[in-house]
Amino acid sequence: MGSVPTPSGPGREPAALPRVSAPAASRSTPAGRLDATRCSVTAAARGDSPVGTASPAQRWLLVEQPGPWGRDALTQSRFDAGVAARLSARARAEGVRVLLVRRPGERLADTGRRWAYADGRPGREGLWWSARTEDADLLSVPWDGSVGERAEGPTYLVCTHGQHDACCALRGRPLARAMPSADVWECSHLGGCRFASNVLVLPHGFAYGAVPGDGADVVAAHARGEVALPWLRGRAGLAMPAQAAQAAAREATGLLGVDDLPVRGSRRLPGTDAEEAEGVERFEVVLAGPTGDVVVRLESRPSAEAVQLTCRATHPAHSRVWTTLAVTG
């Protein structure tokens, strides 16, 4: 996949943000399953851009639960059914996203009944592991980092939720088994299934799509404290314009540190009635650079064609396409 281009100069066309390249084939992928109708295959063929598609979540509850997961992973798994609804209610009330996790290839008997709280809010980043005696413990334990053992390095979650979308299992499971890190987990639905293989790196919450090969480039980047820009979807928790602006500014400035270019402000710019009717939006996002503000102007518009965005989609839909208009500062 190409990286985010630098802004267009005078007399040049605005630069489109990067597109997905076809993920590398894997011997572990079941033969004949990734056919031409799969959402990740059609997205790669179209060149869909993953920029600006990370989740709005900033806090996560990771619940180790081996065994099969249904479409709704928490309620359709071996997790205590009498606890699941109450846990979901607490998570909604506290603004925490619940993800089921399991080690690649883990059997039900292998579980340590672990759980973790992860906080990706800027300045509060951290992930803390604990163990539960029973599932009901999760209803009362604090979700604030005050309990558990803090993880020392990045934690890699690879979406393998095949009951939600087949592409996630077909592409995600081989990647989870191959990633060169000691802290890799399979996880339930992350979103953006057409960008499988999808990876979420905690605690910062950087989301990646169409991760190639064994994911070594992503692991190596985070070992250096940097993002892997070619496959970056965005930082979870940031608004879509801010995600797209950071990607454009990172490409223009070469600033790849995980804490580089924090968002200082964002505003939607006025447009014409015709643009409004067509769904065209423009934004100005201000990021904090090392020597002053970096200002990014972007345009977002619906994709030209409505398509099936997931393997299970019941009707076609338009995605948003981001274009960099200018990066200054």
pLDDT for res 3: 38
- Name the token pair of 123: 């300045």
pLDDT for res 25: 38
- Name the token pair of 65: 């639960």
Residues 82 and 138 in one domain: yes
pLDDT for res 8: 37
Task: Say if CB 34 and CB 170 are below 8 A apart.
Answer: yes
Residues 122 and 249 in one domain: no
Q: For residue 168, is it within any domain?
A: yes
User: For the domain that residue 41 is a member of, what is the CATH number?
Assistant: 3.40.30.10
Compute the distance between CA of residue 44 and CA of residue 157 in angstroms, rounded to an integer: 22
pLDDT for res 105: 78
Compute the distance between CA of residue 244 and CA of residue 323 in angstroms, rounded to an integer: 9
Count: domains in the chain: 2
Q: For residue 8, is it within any domain?
A: no
The range of the structural domain enclosing residue 243 comes to: 238-328
Rounded to two decimals, the pTM is: 0.89
**pLDDT tens by residue, 142-174:** 999 999 999 999 999 999 999 999 999 999 999
Residues 108 and 206 in one domain: yes
Residues 305 and 172 in one domain: no
Identify the domain boundary among 237, 264, 282: 237
User: What's the chain's average pLDDT?
Assistant: 90
Residues 131 and 224 in one domain: yes
Compute the distance between CA of residue 241 and CA of residue 267 in angstroms, rounded to an integer: 9
Residues 85 and 210 in one domain: yes
Identify the domain boundary among 179, 203, 237: 237
Residues 159 and 111 in one domain: yes
Q: Which residues of the chain have pLDDT under 50?
A: 1-32
pLDDT for res 34: 87
Q: For residue 204, is it within any domain?
A: yes
Q: For residue 230, is it within any domain?
A: yes
Q: For residue 25, is it within any domain?
A: no
Compute the distance between CA of residue 22 and CA of residue 66 in angstroms, rounded to an integer: 30
pLDDT for res 107: 61
Compute the distance between CA of residue 50 and CA of residue 21 in angstroms, rounded to an integer: 10
Residues 133 and 144 in one domain: yes
What letter represents residue 162's amino acid?
G
Q: In the sheet where 281-288 sits, what is the strand order?
A: 15-16, 320-328, 293-302, 281-288, 263-269
pLDDT more than 90, % of the chain: 87
Identify the domain boundary among 237, 258, 278: 237
Residues 201 and 296 in one domain: no
Q: For residue 211, is it within any domain?
A: yes
Residues 227 and 269 in one domain: no
Q: For residue 27, is it within any domain?
A: no
Q: Extract long-range pairs of 24-29: CB within 8 Å, 24+ residues apart.
A: 24/212, 24/213, 26/171, 26/174, 26/175, 26/178, 27/174, 28/173, 28/174, 28/177, 28/178, 29/170, 29/171, 29/174
